[in-house]
Amino acid sequence: MARRQRSAPLDEAVLVAQPPLAAAELAPTAQPAQDRTGAAFFDVDNTMMQGASLYYFARGLAARRYFTTIDLARFAISQARFRLLAAEHAGDMDRAREAALSFVKGWQVEEMQRLSEEIFDELMADRIWSGTRALADAHLASGQRVWLVTAAPVELGRVIATRLGLTGALGTVAEIRDGAYTGRLVGEMMHGPNKANAVEALAAAEGLDLSRCTAYSDSINDVPMLTTVGRAVAVNPDSALRRMARSQGWEVRDFRSGRNAAKVAVPVVLGAGMVAGAVVGGMALSRRRKKAL
């Protein structure tokens, strides 16, 4: 597979020229030159975070009685099929889309924002891979911008990006009217080829040179995004992506020990792609919740 020329290593970034200063004077004020044409794009689930963001989001909702444990088990089973069987045929994705839309319909945007912030702080903050965050921070230190790219709702992606001090997030966008979700998507789910399309659109809008950009992911499903940029890095890769990385000569970073890998396996299977079908059980709960109001 053809590859574009790789971007320069991060440690070769050029700093803004400064007049000679003592180290004590320079340290607090020196800033890297803003690299306007290079950027980094990070998948979230099992790349930036141990496990799946929406799995932990659902756990937080269950603790607040938005879900029951039975509801959680139902969409966990759905996720196991989605993850392990790679069920991405048109019919599966259509049903996934309908489930996702049913889940968010009628929710207030402010409520989603508040819950996302609370649940990130409670359940997700301690599950950020320190190694992956260091990679993101290195891009920021070099003057590049850093975006998360996730199938989760863009609101949740933005909360994670904000908490980590990143530039922003690309995610699945639900239509909003009068401050509430309508049950329709704006565009397509942020998954597979749609991630690559979103990265290309952002690059065009921001004046990025994709050959100087880097993408990070754990999943073979993100090969379209990984091959859109000049430098691809497999982080905590699944077996298919590891093979792909070896064949293409891509860098591989694995921050999992044997024990951590075992711990991560369950939430990844249960939570990955929850937007794409895991919230089936949540629909019934949502209806019960509305009746109770």
Is residue 43 annotated as part of the catalytic site, yes or no? yes
| Catalytic, out of 45, 71, 218, 222 | 45
- CA dist., res. 228 & res. 203, Å (int): 11
C-alpha pair distances (Å), 115 with each of 2, 51, 55, 60, 278: 43, 19, 14, 8, 18
- CA dist., res. 32 & res. 149, Å (int): 24
Q: Which helix (H) or strand (E) holds 252?
A: strand 251-253
Strand order in the sheet with 168-172: 168-172, 145-153, 39-43, 214-217, 231-235, 251-253
| End-to-end CA gap in the chain | 55
Q: Is 189 helix (H, G, I), strand (E, B) or coil?
A: coil
Is residue 45 annotated as part of the catalytic site, yes or no? yes
The amino acid occupying position 35 is: D
- Could you tell me whether strands 39-43 and 145-153 are parallel, antiparallel, or unpaired per DSSP bridges? parallel
Which of 107, 195, 88 has its CA nearest to residue 149?
195
Q: Are 151 and 55 in contact (CB under 8 A)?
A: no
| Catalytic, out of 11, 35, 43, 137 | 43
Which of 64, 155, 72, 69 has its CA nearest to residue 108?
155
Active site residues: 43, 45
